[in-house]
Amino acid sequence: MMDSMKELDLGYNSFYLAGATTKHLYLANATYPQSIWITNHSLLDTQRIDFHIVNSGKIAWKAVRVIVDSPDVFCLEPITPTILKADLADFTFHRLDISNVNFSLSVPLSVSTFVNLVYDDAKDETRLVKMLADERSGDTRSYTIEKQKEGLFSTDGMIHFDRSNNRLVYIYYYRNQFLCLDSNLHFLYQSRTIDTISQVARIAAENKITLASPPLVVNKLSCIDQGILYINSPRLANNEDEKGFASYSVIDMYSLKDGSYKYSFNIPDYKGQKLRNFSVINHRIVAFQGHFMLTYRLNR
């Protein structure tokens, strides 16, 4: 299923893949969020570029997530909140006017259009909100994520946008489900993953929300590549060997055409380090394991 492994020792375990082009991989570092590291697909000729910030104002840099969506680069920070934009030519960032729209997650659809994950405490509900930056018209569309017993834990998840078919995917952390919407937040379908589900419970006496005991993450990591959704689950499937499962991470693949399950493959532990993050770029897996970045050719 996988071959042609390449390795790059990054020296730190805080790197993640910010994006890629046909020639380069762009790495961001959660500990050093004001820089980006660039390497080619052979993991050679790595260089670091520091950001130039114009009128940045106050930013919670430790909360920044960097996304490279060629030819644009975004710094997304949900606390203040702030969105900075630059291009790959010079990495000079300018602040976008988002009118203090709060979000916990954000994904760019275009140079000025974003879909944000927003929790409304008063209504106890989570929504996906399409936002136009630098415009005064405010929210254009929204989609309320169906909750179970409450609207925070039961709706918590990950957002991805597949530019190849303009589909937005929302994957739940604690439910064996994912949603597929179009770029205008029109519902297309909901599908189940092959793993079992955990539940969310409310402790009424203390007016607290908690996860069922023991708390179980159903979908831990995910990414999208060319119409395929890849999900890593930390749960042992019924047909898997417990001893073997301890030495690799399982990736399940789903078609975004209809949400159907395709098949699964394993990413082995590397030098005793389990998978902590991954992406798939043009059929190549980019895996972060400890302070190593590994790339594998995915045979499909």
Over the chain, what HEC string results?
CEEEEEEEECCCCCEEEEEECCCEEEEEECCCCCEEEEEECCCCCCEEEECEEECCCCCCHHHCEEEEECCEEEEEECCCCEEEEEECCCCEEEECCCCCCCCCEEEECCCCEEEEEEEECCCCEEEEEEEECCCCCCEEEEEEECCCCCCCHHHCEEEEEECCCCEEEEEECCCCEEEEEECCCCEEEEEECCCCCCCEEEEHHHCEEEECCCCCCCCCEEEEECCEEEEECCCCCCCCCHHHHCCEEEEEEEECCCCCEEEEEEEECECCECEEEEEEECCEEEEEECCEEEEEEECC
**The predicted structure's pLDDT at residue 282:** 86
Instruction: State the pLDDT at residue 206.
Output: 45
Encode pLDDT of 187-242 as tens digits: 999 999 987 655 544 434 444 555 555 557 889 999 999 999 999 988 766 656 66
| pLDDT at 60 > cutoff 80 | yes
State pLDDT tens for residues 41-59.
Answer: 999 989 999 999 997 688 9
Residue-level pLDDT at 155: 82
Stated pTM of the model: 0.89
Phi and psi torsions of 153, nearest 5°: -65, -45
pLDDT in tens, 101-118: 789 999 999 998 999 999
pLDDT confidence band for 139 (50 / 70 / 90): low
More confident residue, 128 or 152: 128
